[in-house]
Amino acid sequence: MSDKQMHPVMQWIDYRLPIFTFLNHELHEYPTPKNLNYWWNFGSLAGIILVIMLVTGIVLAMHYTAHVDLAFGSVERIMRDVNYGWLIRYVHMNGASMFFIIVYIHMLRGLYFGSYQAPRELLWMIGVLILLAMMATAFMGYVLPWGQMSFWGATVITNLFSAIPWVGDDIVTLLWGGFSVDNPLLNRFFSLHYLLPFVIIGLVVLHIVALHQHGSNNPIGIDMKTDQDSVPFHPYYTVKDLFGLGAFLIFFAFFVFFAPNYFGEADNYIPADALQTPAHIVPEWYFLPYYAILRAFTADWLVYNVLSLGGFIMTAKLMGVLAMFASILLLLFLPWLDGSKVKSSRFRPVHAMFVWIFVLDCIVLGICGAKPAEGMWLIIGQTATVYYFAHLLFIVPIVSRLERPMMPPESIAASVTSKATG
């Protein structure tokens, strides 16, 4: 849209605050690789679901009471007495699961097509930080209904910080605001649950800025060289994104209206009781792989220091906590662990095979996380944990340096033309 096509009022605003020029550049003029497929829909879907979560969360916060004696009842009041409160809560509750599904698929696309490689390292790293912020926000939100699983989940997870040598117990006491999980913790979690989404928005803005600096990656992993390699984002990809949004909303609506409690735990519909422990404490499904990694360590280790001729005990609890956080933080270093000059797994068959094995390994970890940490499930979980770290620390670097990838096309335009003529 040129200045002459703008309404006079829009021209007056744009001259002083060029918001319409900015939107025109980002949506219409923004060059986008012409070979993007539906794997690239999930970035925009993640932004849309973030807005949905923000709006529904703000409405819910207007009716929620952050007090251990009133929290459970306030949630029930939202469900029963607030106009369309049941709908708002179900959208927010299932929206968390939808958000993680979208983000995990978005990251899988990045892993498969090499979207983390240069010059998009910071883009990938900011994405990992968004995931960490999402996990923190989701965990705190899970505590707010103050059901049995909320209470005991908060107790178990916050107790993990006690594994930190020397200062662990003090950190737990600080988190709790006392010597047990009680009202101070609930208040703090409510405040942080309300605050962190705005931190996520800030990270998303940085994510988009980093994306637009060098443009989107594409299925063949070749950067745009000429105008023939690209098309304007609008209308080509806005239409594609709207189609993907429609399909996603059908999927989302199914769970909201027909299976609203599918992703939840039945125990969380029982008011929190510090004197009655649930038979099996499990987090939400999107935490299960990390929960399995946490529980994979069952024995204490003596760490010997040659210099001081002494040693200290590395507890299983501490090793589990370190491994759980390392499993996420290692993703930050993936751009440097993968040394291949070819990005897309379409031309790296060995790497593509290991990517899908890695995905299968994460699924196995999720299944193990939902099962008791004993017997066969413990052994499978430990094996899957070993492979998780072996994949990132050894398989990816070795394969990227030894594999002889196939030759990619000369340009994006050439690949599209060959498909059309072939």
C-alpha distances (whole Å) from 9 to each of 3, 99, 394, 420 are 11, 38, 60, 45
Closest CA to 131 of 159, 157, 162, 108: 108
> Is 212 a catalytic site residue?
yes
Query: How many whole angstroms separate alpha carbon 77 and alpha carbon 146?
Result: 14
pLDDT given for residue 248 in this prediction: 97
Q: Give the DSSP H/E element, type plus range, for residue 207.
A: helix 183-214
> Is 241 a catalytic site residue?
yes
Name the catalytic one among 284, 327, 340, 351.
284
Tokens of 234: 């609008």
pLDDT given for residue 164 in this prediction: 87
Residue type, 212: H
pLDDT given for residue 4 in this prediction: 61
Closest CA to 284 of 264, 262, 260, 255: 264
Name every residue whose Cβ is closer than 8 Å to that of residue 80 and which is 6 or more positions away in sequence: 86
Q: Please, what are the domains in the chain?
A: 30-274 (1.20.810.10), 282-406 (1.10.287.980)
CB 399 within 8 A of CB 350: yes
SS3 7: coil
Query: How many whole angstroms separate alpha carbon 418 and alpha carbon 229?
Result: 13
Name every residue whose Cβ is closer than 8 Å to that of residue 42 and which is 6 or more positions away in sequence: 102, 103, 105, 106, 109, 244
Residue position matching structure tokens 């708002």: 88
pLDDT given for residue 415 in this prediction: 81
Q: Return the bridge partners of 311, or none.
A: 304
Query: How many whole angstroms separate alpha carbon 187 and alpha carbon 20?
Result: 41
Name every residue whose Cβ is closer than 8 Å to that of residue 191 and which is 6 or more positions away in sequence: none
pTM listed for this prediction: 0.94
pLDDT given for residue 30 in this prediction: 83
> Is 240 a catalytic site residue?
yes
Name the catalytic one among 14, 229, 241, 361.
241
Residue 305 sits at φ, ψ, to 5 deg, of -105, 110
Name the catalytic one among 162, 240, 403, 411.
240
C-alpha dihedral, 219 to 206 to 190 to 52, nearest 10°: -50
Per-residue pLDDT of the chain (422 residues; tens, 9 = 90+): 555 677 889 889 988 898 888 877 777 778 899 999 999 999 999 999 999 999 999 999 999 999 999 999 999 999 999 999 999 999 999 999 999 999 999 999 999 999 999 999 999 999 999 999 999 999 999 999 999 999 999 999 999 999 888 899 999 999 999 999 999 999 999 999 999 999 999 999 999 999 998 999 999 999 898 889 999 888 889 999 999 999 999 999 999 999 999 999 889 999 999 999 888 888 999 999 999 999 999 987 766 555 555 566 788 999 999 999 999 999 999 999 999 999 999 999 999 999 999 999 999 999 999 999 899 999 999 999 999 999 999 999 999 999 999 999 888 888 877 665 55
pLDDT given for residue 343 in this prediction: 95
pLDDT given for residue 308 in this prediction: 55
Name every residue whose Cβ is closer than 8 Å to that of residue 68 and which is 6 or more positions away in sequence: 146, 182, 183, 186, 272
Residue 338 sits at φ, ψ, to 5 deg, of -90, 110
Query: How many whole angstroms separate alpha carbon 105 and alpha carbon 107?
Result: 5
Name the catalytic one among 7, 25, 28, 212.
212
